[in-house]
Amino acid sequence: MPTTKPRYMITDTEAIAHALDLAAQAWPEVPRGGAAITRLVRLAADVLESDHQVRVRAVESLTEFGGVYPPGYLDEVREGWPQ
């Protein structure tokens, strides 16, 4: 099929074969090969995006602790620590 988009070639390595075997078990209706690889890539992207969003929410939740300790608090605590 003609396209102006880049195409990618992958070799059916042991890791790719394993991923395709898992895809065949999970999605028996999806033909092995390009369709399964496309679905695996989309699923991986969804997982990565979700993981990123979870990390962003975790960092944002830490901002709730801003202002809990007064300015200079750490310096005061460290004064009692041995060097």
Side-chain-side CA neighbours of residue 27 (13 Å): 14
pLDDT at 71: 85
**Encoded amino acid at 30, one letter:** V
Q: Over the stretch 15-29, which tens digit does the pLDDT of each residue have?
A: 999 999 999 999 999
pLDDT at 21: 97
pLDDT at 63: 80
pLDDT at 65: 78
Q: 72 lies in which domain range?
A: 14-79
Do the domain assignments include residue 1?
Answer: no
**Encoded amino acid at 66, one letter:** G
Do the domain assignments include residue 6?
Answer: no
Q: CB of 36 within 8 A of CB of 30?
A: yes
Query: pTM of this prediction?
Result: 0.65
Helix, strand, or coil (residue 77): helix
Do the domain assignments include residue 9?
Answer: no
Domain tally for the chain?
1
Length of the chain: 83
